Amino acid sequence: MHEGELLVLNGRIADHGPSLGAPEGVEIIEAEGAVLCPGLVDLRAAIGEPGYEYRETIAAAAEAAAAGGITTLAVLPETQPVIDDPALVRFIRARGEETGSLTLLPYAAATRGLAGRELAEYGLLQAAGAVAFTDGARQIASSRIMRLALAYAAGFGARIVQHPEDAGLAQSGAATAGARATWMGLPGIPAAAEAIGVARDIRLAALTGGAVHFAHVSTGEALDLIRAAKEQGLNITCDTAPPYFDLTETAIGDYRTYAKLSPPLRGEADRQAVVAALRDGTVDAIASDHQPRDADDKRLPFADAAPGGAGLATLLAVTLARVQNGDLTLPQALALLTLRPAAWLGIEAGALARGRPADLCLFHPEKSWQVQAGKLPGKAQNTPFDGRALEGVVLGTWKAGRRVFGA
């Protein structure tokens, strides 16, 4: 990290360097001790609108994103109606522009209605602005359909984003199978369900020449398979999310439904494996995996509660915890939140470069705060990090040079 100055003119980065000198009439913002980085590019988030506005609206998601330093958000198709129609892709992109603070990049459904039976119209959806194809939190369970999806998407130079979990093994499960789930009386999901799903899809990617991206990878066994596939030159990428490198299954503690996620939280060995994969480059991006849930979705017995955690406001600070304890360098951590997901999406974001849009995040790496459900920005409050003390406070967020968060 270098001390320096950055000049923004007409919404774009005009120049940067150690000592530029400000042109006359330019507003000067001093931020000694703070870090200026590109606006965060979040590779995976569900939002409630359209159809589940009681959980979250686009406006509320934009508020939470701005407070978290996020300026670009890739949005899952798990809305109602499902994003499997070009008009809905255009609608989501337009609604993002209307916020003035957040670029929304929609994933389109890989199969019609997310039902896993019939492929969606990839060409039309891509032409409308879909960035990739996924059935969101559902695995494309049929090997035949997944093979067709990979081959069809490859024809458009597109990726299939997969929830890497064998659907049959995971069915009705609520926590990672093992001593804790047994002791709590919860139906278990074998950790191996993730590796089994990953192994199948790596083989299908090799068979078809297609590109598959594994979302929220959470186990060492799956990461070993992904690492080996990358070394073989297959078109395989993956992301993970903060709960999988910051929390373990002990967080479900006293049947804490805010910590019920999909995939479920794992043991300490898997958490350490995820950290190692972040460090060695196996993981391509850190995504919030934001899943808004209403209180009524969570105020149920643990086995019946909806999985998912709010993640927009905590994405940066939980990632910075890995820097503070020496697991990652600050440039490594920021690249996983900015440059690398932007490159994956193929968009003009994620870097402080001359001529690029001035999407910026200013944060203080040493200021501390405590996560409190009920007091987070935006509508979704179902954070698995409730009560967690964190360092790293966003001081300001700018979209195309306009301040959208901070004084």
pLDDT score recorded for residue 319 = 98
Reported as a pLDDT band with limits 50, 70 and 90, residue 39 is very high
Mean per-residue pLDDT, 144-162? 98
Task: Sort 24 into a burial class: Cβ within 10 Å, 0-12 / 13-18 / 19+.
Answer: exposed
- Residue 134 burial by CB count (10 A; 0-12/13-18/19+): exposed, middle or buried? buried
Range of the domain at 331: 5-405
Pick the catalytic residue: 135, 246, 289, 297? 289
pLDDT of 30 above 90: no
pTM: 0.96
Confidence of residue 3 (pLDDT cuts 50, 70, 90): confident
Q: Show the 3-state SS of 253-286.
A: CCCCHHHCCCCCCCCHHHHHHHHHHHHHCCCCEE
With contact defined as beta carbons under 8 Å apart, do 154 and 209 qualify?
yes
Q: What is the mean pLDDT of the chain?
A: 96
pLDDT, mean of residues 194-223: 98
Q: Per-residue pLDDT averaged across 55-64, rounded? A: 97
Q: Quote the number of domains for the chain.
A: 1
- pLDDT for 18: 83
The share of the chain scoring above pLDDT 70, in percent, equals: 99
pLDDT for 19? 77
The residues, ordered by sequence, that sit 6+ positions from 192 with a Cβ below 8 Å of its Cβ are 169, 221
**pLDDT value at 64 more than 70:** yes
Whether 289 is catalytic:
yes
Whether residue 268 is predicted with pLDDT greater than 70 in this model: the reply is yes
Spatial CB neighbours of 197, under 8 Å, sequence gap ≥ 6: 139, 162, 163, 164, 165, 166, 222
For strands 188-189 and 285-286, give the pairing.
unpaired
pLDDT digits (tens, 9 = 90+) for 71-110: 999 999 999 999 999 999 999 999 999 999 999 999 999 9
- The predicted model gives 379-407 an average pLDDT of 96
Pairwise CA distance, residues 235 & 150, whole Å: 11
Which of 288, 335, 351, 318 has the alpha carbon at shortest distance from 43?
288
pLDDT value of position 26: 79
Summarize the confidence of residues 222-242 as an average pLDDT.
98
Q: What is the CATH number of the domain that holds 28?
A: 3.20.20.140
Q: Does pLDDT of 401 surpass 70?
A: yes
What mean pLDDT comes out for the span 240-256? 97
